[in-house]
Structures are given as C-alpha cells and as structure tokens.
Amino acid sequence: MTGAKKTAGAKKATAARKTEAEKPEAKKTAPVRKAPAAKKPLVAPRKATASVQAAPVKTVGEPVGDESRTALVRRARRINRELAEVFPYAHPELDFENPFQLVVATVLSAQTTDLRVNQTTPALFAKYPTPEDLAAANPEEVEEILRPTGFFRAKTKSVIGLSKVLAEDFGGEVPGRLEDLVKLPGVGRKTAFVVLGNAFGRPGITVDTHFQRLVRRWRWTGETDPDKIEAAVGALFPKSDWTDLSHHVIWHGRRICHARKPACGACPIAPLCPAYGEGETDPEKAKKLLKYEKGGLPGQRLKPPQAYLDAGGRPAPPLGAG
C-alpha cells in the first residue's frame, strides 16, 4: 500500500510539474495571439494614402523629402532626360557669333531679358566689332546704345573694362579658362560658365534665377547660394551633361515652370515634381500660360539655330518692331 501511495503521489507531482511548466508557455504565446492588435497603427498610413488620392494637387511628391541619395540621383537624371525630349533644340538664347560677343552679351543680360539684349547688341557690335574697338569707345556713346538693357552706365563700364583687359592682357582674345574669365570686369562664375560651355565646349553649370528656382522646387538641393547650388547639382550628374542640363532647366523655367504661376497642368515632368500643384493644374488653363514656341510665340533670339526653326520656333523681332 505504501509503495502504491508513493507511486500515486509521484504521478500527481509529475502532473503538477507539467501543469506549472505549461503555464509560462501559455503566457509566452498569449502576446503572439494579440499580434494583430499591435499592427493596428498601420491603418493610419492607409488613411493618409486615401487622402492623397482624394487631393493629389496638394500632396503629390511630398514623400520626396525622405528619398535616398540614390533615388534623388535617379529622379534628377530622369527629369533631365525628359526635358531633353521636350527641348531637343535647347540652346543659349543670346545671339552671338564669337566668344567676344557672347561674353559681352552675357554681361549685358543681368537684370533684363535675353530678348532685350539680342535686340540691343546688333548696333553695339556693328560699331565696335572687336575688343580693341570697344576698349577705345566713348562711354557716352556706348551708354546710349545700351540704355534699353537697364543699368546701362554700370554695364557700359563693365563691357569697356573687360574689353580693355582682353586687349591688353589676352591679345584681344577671350580666354578659355575659368580662372582667367572671372578676372574680367563684370564676369562671375555664371557668365564664365556660359562662355566656357557655349563658346569653347567645356562643361559648366549656369546658375541663373530660373535654374535656382527650379532645382529648389524639384528638391535637388535646398541651397540658396549660387556656388553651393552649382556644386550640389553638379554632383548629381556626369560633368559631360552640365551644359545641356543648364539649357534644359532654363528653357523649362522660361516656358513652363514660371516663377509666379507654373503651368503644372501642361508640365511634361509633373509626375516627378514634388512641387506639383503650386501652379495651374487644369490642362486647358495651363496651356494658356505657356510662353515662347510652346505657346506659339517667338523665341528670344533674332538669329536662332536652324534646329530651333525646324522645330517650329520663330525668331524674335528686332528692337522697335511691332
């Protein structure tokens, strides 16, 4: 009897131990059964997504702020490829026949339009065709020619001054190096890169007001200093792309992505733009905002390249016409 009792007691003890051993396991598995409840916060993004679909104009592109460096490079390069298809005939919109004319025209383009410069320079270069001629010019006569471009006294001082430096220090020739160009009166990095890229075929990024506005809208960079913008954007592209990239961005800024009211509804890169919706999104209304050849209007050059004319572009009228 005693042995049987011991055996029964042992069995009960074993059963009790098993019961106690199972209790912690039950506690451990309980959270697993509640796991679906822990996933409930994921419902919030779904609601946010629904609101994006309901009001795309205000929310398109917002996640771009969190994109990786690789994603930014890919998006930036895709935008450039898309613009290259839209503006295959993009070119510098200042009329020039040689490096000297280009550097002078670029200096004159400050605080005015390329169109106004193009309407003014024919008379200037007809009277002063070389650096030596302009260096020896009467400032008052030059001022009278340049009056339509605005700030004509300061511009007269710059173009006569740079002509003197070219004549005295560079044998009457425009230098093809950045470090030499920026020594010329009135010539900064922007002007230097315009000359290097378009007169000498050396890559450079032209950071004008259009370029600055668009690269910030596209969130390529948050910089506001032109030199820092140049460095930040240049790092996103191969050096060989820099000059054409400048043309594409500037042309898009002048024709479609305007400062005050972008034509978002007529924009070819709208799906890639974080700022979509800042302007007019209705396609028909947006079309009315397009400028130059995109809106059926003449371009800014009196003598544009043949490729531009072949694409349907029209030359600008001379000064005083119409």
Cα 258 to Cα 291: distance, rounded to the nearest angstrom: 9
How distant, in Å, are the alpha carbons of 15, 34, 246 from that of 179? 91, 69, 20
Biggest CA–CA distance in the chain, Å, is 135
Rg (CA), the chain: 33
Helix axes 99-108, 114-127, angle to 10 degrees: 130
Instruction: Give dist(CA 55, CA 78) in Å, integer.
Output: 25
Query: With 0-12 CB in 10 A as exposed, 13-18 as middle and 19+ as buried, what is 288?
Result: exposed
Nearest to 157 by CA among 192, 110, 119: 110
Contact by Cβ (8 Å): 135, 128: no
The CA-atom distances, in angstroms, between 117 and each of 10, 108, 144, 207 are 107, 7, 14, 19
**What token pair was written down for 43?**
């419902």
Catalytic residues: 190, 208
Classify 187 in phi/psi space as left (phi over 0), alpha (psi -120 to 50) or beta.
beta
Yes or no: say if 181 and 196 are a contact pair by the CB < 8 Å rule.
Answer: yes
- C-alpha distances out from residue 204 to 10, 81, 249, 321, Å: 90, 18, 13, 35
Burial of 225 (0-12, 13-18, 19+ CB in 10 A): exposed
Q: Please state the φ and ψ torsions of residue 262, each to the nearest 5 degrees.
A: -60, 145
